Homo-oligomer: A and B are copies of this chain.
């Protein structure tokens, strides 16, 4: 843990300030205090980095998360990709433990990880770039065209994915900067999306988060355990290197809050199929009641056939996946009152078998589509975790 200060002396020394005498004068003081700067805060909760799976997927979502897509620089290939993955693995192992990165120039921002996790993914193009097209998991491919999509290139695609999450936004900003700057000669940023949920401590823990439409978001999620494991983690069939990995869909969904807010509460609830206040399906009384899509009143379904939950509901047990949504709220362009929405993230063994049938049904006829527009889309393979610091993230792809 004290080695975070060692590489600092190897950095280029500049004497831009007041001449070298003053610098020397203060150097002893600085060195004496440096050890305090590299001490992790043992009160800050951590999520283990090493394991069969990468953290950040089945981890209880942190209050803040940033999703970044990067592209390998032109002309680079497998060697550079491996170098980049080694750097990220080293940085992630340290930062998630509350230890500053090697040569960390702001070690003080690393001491309180607040459940920091770093998750790495590979886009469809990555497999071509590194000469491993034959190892691309079959469902890791851009989603087919959907009539609801108004995709913008600035929110779509990417060779590499970084998901960085923390309950502290300062820790998050520092981790993202370290991970980004340490690979800047190897990759360029394609897009970056920051999202938020309720801050820790402001709501009862375990409560489903609310999106900016006011609705509970993520009620239907497999509980941690064998059920979730079977839905999310790849068993290595067809692609042995991918055992313990998963696939990730990131969709940036703009919410048209101005028109949404013109709807009265009943119309909003009918659009969702759930009540906004407590999240109960319109056929039930509390959030986790199973919706009854067959119940009618005077011959008319109580949950409309095109309500969001009626379309999103898994029609077979295989059509389930893990949802992990974050709110975004950016400054609006001129003439609009908001530029807000959802960073919708889904994890599943197989995009085509689990996620796509549901997405297709929503695209065909979801009452909510009037007030939501997908403006970004990307699919990534999330390689398995690393078991020890002899390994690097994605290593099995290259073996």
Distance A257 CA – B105 CA, assembled complex (angstroms):
10
Contact of A177 among B212, B276, B331 (CB under 8 A): B212
CB atoms of A168 and B199 under 8 A apart: yes
User: A83 at the A/B interface (Cβ < 8 Å)?
Assistant: no
Interface hit among A15-23, A126-134, A145-153, A346-354: A15-23
One complex includes copies of this chain to the number of 2
Interface hit among A200-208, A241-249, A313-321, A386-394: A200-208
Distance A14 CA – B367 CA, assembled complex (angstroms):
13
The size of the chain A interface, using a CB distance under 8 A, is 105
Known A26-B282, A33-B280, A169-B196; contact A267-B21, beta-carbon cutoff 8 A:
no
User: A237 at the A/B interface (Cβ < 8 Å)?
Assistant: no
Q: A193's closest neighbor in chain B, by CB? A: B331
Known A17-B267, A275-B29, A280-B33; contact A106-B214, beta-carbon cutoff 8 A:
yes
Residues on B with beta carbons closer than 8 Å to the beta carbon of A337? 177, 180-181, 184, 189
User: A304 at the A/B interface (Cβ < 8 Å)?
Assistant: yes
Q: Could you list 26 A-B pairs, sorted by A, with CB under 8 Å?
A: A11-B264, A13-B264, A16-B267, A19-B300, A22-B297, A22-B302, A23-B270, A25-B300, A26-B269, A27-B266, A33-B275, A33-B280, A37-B277, A44-B202, A107-B277, A112-B198, A168-B202, A169-B197, A170-B327, A177-B338, A180-B338, A184-B337, A189-B334, A191-B331, A199-B200, A200-B202
